[in-house]
Every structure is written in structure tokens, then in C-alpha cells.
Amino acid sequence: MKLILVGGVQGVGKSTLLDFCKDEFAGKIEIIDAGELFRQYCIRDKLKTHNEVEELIIESILEMPKDATIVLHWHFAVTRPEGFIPQISFERIKRLALSQLIDEVVLIAVEAPVDVIYDRRLKDSDSKKRNLSIETIRGEIECDFEFMKKHAEIFTVHLGVDRVAIHQIENIDLEVAKSKLRSIV
């Protein structure tokens, strides 16, 4: 199984790139939108706890066919009132790494300059609740990067360095970003 985590802070363009993936690789990949599952089950419908949704995501991955390529719409770090936490606990990430089902892990950091992220967030501020402080965005980027390194460390320890890849995609020019993503997937 190939596991591709496409992460980055809100406003870097993950959704746009994953919509492209959905069309470009239709029938060849499975896409799991972890953030949408949290919004659906924890926030809108209030049917599950955070831990139950984490478990749902992990089980969804583990139930995929051994030859599947799974692309996850991911946040390496999410903000909570108590501070930043991983979207899925590091203990569950470790369980995934130890499952013996994962052949390859690709961690992708989608990036954009702070002012571009700010403008994108401002543009969709009517429909999405996002922080509009430049300093906060900088902090989110820094934390997301640190948490991505922790994801890489967990997968590398348990799978080996030759089975874990890290890529950065700068999403300023959408066509260039799509091309880079196409070459990775």
C-alpha cells in the first residue's frame, strides 16, 4: 500500500490540488479527506468524538486493498484551544506504520508565501472560519513543519528510510504545482 499525506496549513491550496488528483487519477487512487470527516462527525453532526474519528480514519486506511494508493487530505498539525496537536495522534500514526500493510509513505508539504495564504484566507473568509493574522499564519506554518518532521520520524523508524519520502510543493502557480504533484503520485 502506498500512503500519500498531502498536508499544509489552511489556505495553501490542498483542496484545489486534491480535486485535480481526484480527476487526474480517477479509479487509480483512493482519497480520504480527514478534515472533512472531523467536520462531519465531530462538528456538524456531533455523532463521534475526536478519538472515534481518528480511529475511523485509521481503520479506513487499514481496510484498503494491499495494492491501493491512498491520498490523504491532511493537516500535520491542527490548532485547538490547548495548542497545536497532530490531526491523528502520533500513537495512531505509529500503529499505522507498524501494521505491515504500508509499503511506501510519501509526505507532501504544500506551501505558499504567508501573504498569499493571507489573501486566500481573506477571499474565502465568508465561507470558512480561518485566522487572518500574519503572525498566526507564520506560527501555523512553523508548527505544521515540525509536526511533519515527527510524522516522518515515526514512519522512518518503523518502515525504514528507503520507504519514506518527503516532498515540498510550492503552490503559487497552480499548473506548476499540479505538475509536481502528478510526478509524485
Residues 117-161: pLDDT tens digits? 999 988 887 766 666 789 999 999 999 999 999 999 999 999 999
pLDDT of residue 111: 97
Task: Report DSSP state, residue 163.
Answer: G
pLDDT score, position 89: 93
Give the per-residue pLDDT at 173: 95
Would you state the pLDDT for residue 38? 83
**Which DSSP helix (H) or strand (E) runs through 161?**
none
C-alpha cell of residue 10: 489552511
Question: How many CB atoms sit inside 10 A of residue 1's CB?
Answer: 19
Give the pLDDT confidence score for residue 21 in this predicted structure: 93
What pTM was computed for the model? 0.92
- Report pLDDT for 127: 60
Strand 30-33 to 78-80 pairing: unpaired
* Phi, psi at 120, each rounded to 5°: -65, -40
Spell out, as residue ranges, where the chain has pLDDT lower than 70: 127-131
Residue in the block written with cell 499544509 = 8
Could you give the CA distance from residue 164 to residue 162 in angstroms, rounded to a whole number? 6
Q: Domain 2-31+67-184: which topology?
A: Rossmann fold (3.40.50)
The closest alpha carbon to 108, from 144, 156, 65, 79, belongs to 144
User: By three-state DSSP, how is residue 26 classified?
Assistant: coil
Q: What is the pLDDT of residue 44?
A: 79
Can you give the length of the chain in residues? 185
- 133 in the Ramachandran plot: left (φ > 0), alpha (ψ -120 to 50) or beta? beta
Going by their DSSP bridges, the two strands 83-85 and 69-73 should be labelled as unpaired
Please give the pLDDT value at position 49: 84
